Amino acid sequence: MSVRRGSVAVVLAAMLLAGMAARTTVGSGGLSGTARASNCSWERHSKRVVKRVKRHGKVRKVVRRKHWWVCGPQTPSPVAAAPAPTPAPPSSPAPEPEPEANRISVKGSEYYFVLSRPSVKAGEVTVELNNQGEDPHNLNLRLEGSETEPLTLPETDSLQRSDATFDLPAGKYRLWCSLPEHEEKGMAATLAVG
């Protein structure tokens, strides 16, 4: 009986190691974590897990739900077929490219924040709070070393998003959740604006 358990343990350990190796090679995909996070939409998945356990000398069936989050790629909007372009007159100047959106997404859960990128350009910045946790969270921003009133995003319920646009001068900003004990438990981050 113990030889059988030992061989099962060896097989399970080998499968676990193979799964972790495949996850590292497939998951990296040549992109950094911030590049992948900015091009995804978070989806919640769950499945029913049934286990048979022995309690008080009797075998019982325990049913639970397992939940996890998956970052799925955002689907681009369909492009309508455009008619063939007509040549522009040579005297018209080339249009200037539109400036890139200065935006950052902050994913919040119990009890941490994950920034979609570590820095943004100074000026108007759109900050989005994506609450993936079970508890409500809010977001406060303040320039480090400043004693001014913090910029705030209101309390956001579980699985909801809120955003706001702020005019941020260059510097390092401290981000935190001001709900009771959330900051003490680790809900804080730093954002570089330059």
- Dist. CA 156–CA 145, nearest whole Å: 27
CATH superfamily of 103-193: Cupredoxins -  blue copper proteins (2.60.40.420)
Burial label for 163, CB within 10 Å (0-12, 13-18, 19+), is middle
Mean pLDDT of 83-87: 58
**Which residues fall within 8 angstroms of residue 129, CB to CB, at 6 or more apart?**
106, 108, 137, 138, 139, 153, 156, 161, 162, 163
What are 33-73's pLDDT values in tens digits? 444 555 777 888 888 989 999 888 899 999 998 888 888 77
pLDDT of residue 28: 46
When the pLDDT of each residue in the chain is averaged and rounded to a whole number, the result is 80
Kindly list the domain boundaries of the chain, sorted by start residue. 37-74, 103-193
Burial 43-72 (b: 16+ CB within 10 A, else e): eeeeeeeeeeeeeeeeeeeeeeeeeeeeee
Two tokens at 148? 């001014």
What are 160-193's pLDDT values in tens digits? 999 999 999 999 999 999 999 999 999 999 999 9
What are 119-164's pLDDT values in tens digits? 999 999 999 999 999 999 999 999 999 889 999 999 999 999 999 9
- Dist. CA 137–CA 11, nearest whole Å: 42
